[in-house]
Structure 1
């Protein structure tokens, strides 16, 4: 469950973000990835590197204001930072040892959604639900020979 729950959290994130209309969804996600870039500042244990990473994440988040690709890149950068912190033993949530690993699993799910342009998953599910609800076409009636 430790490895599956983060995938569901990433999908849930994309579903909840689907409630926000464009172009606000992209801008809001740029702010989110910027915040994620500063998540380890208060005790990540990598000294000055925490500030350097935050500066890079801030730049990527700024570029993400106009580009889903940069937001996806930001989430992948955060994934790498999560892995470093997991290996070093400084989790994102100090009292939850596996929290950085969970974040490293969740973030690429979000990044994939961003690389697809942050589409509304709600619209996708509604479209497929409508298709499933349609009655099957009746077979063509052929005139008697």
Structure 2
């Protein structure tokens, strides 16, 4: 369950983000990945090293304003930071011991979607529906 739920949460996020029409979907995702870069700042588990990711993610988010690939790369960078925090014992949510582990599972789901160009999953389902039968 510790692996399944983060994947489900990632898929729910993808579905919710798919509801936002283009051209606003990509800039919103860039802002989200930029904000994710600051998620660990209040914990301070890595001391002054905590300031590295927000600086890098600010650049990545800026590039993500025009590129889904950069947004996907940002989610993978955040995944690496999640792993470091999980191994260090400094979770993203201090009251939930394995939250960084869960985040490290969830973030690649978002990254894969971003690398695919952030398409609406609802567009995929509409494209796969069979055409209605022709009238008599």
TM bracket, shorter-chain basis: over 0.9
Who is 2:124 aligned against? 124
Q: Which runs of 5+ in 1 are unaligned?
A: 136-145
Give the C-alpha shift of residue 44 in structure 1: 3.5
Q: How does 1:1-145 map onto structure 2 within 5 Å?
A: 1-128=1-128, 130-131=129-130, 134=132
Residue 41 of structure 2 aligns to a residue whose secondary structure is coil
Q: Distance in 2 between matches of 1:44 and 1:88?
A: 11
User: TM-score, normalised to structure 1's length?
Assistant: 0.88
Give the C-alpha shift of residue 42 in structure 1: 0.5
User: TM-score, normalised to structure 2's length?
Assistant: 0.94
Q: Which runs of 5+ in 2 are unaligned?
A: none
Aligned residues: 133
Give the superposed CA RMSD.
Answer: 1.1
Q: Distance in 2 between matches of 1:78 and 1:23?
A: 24
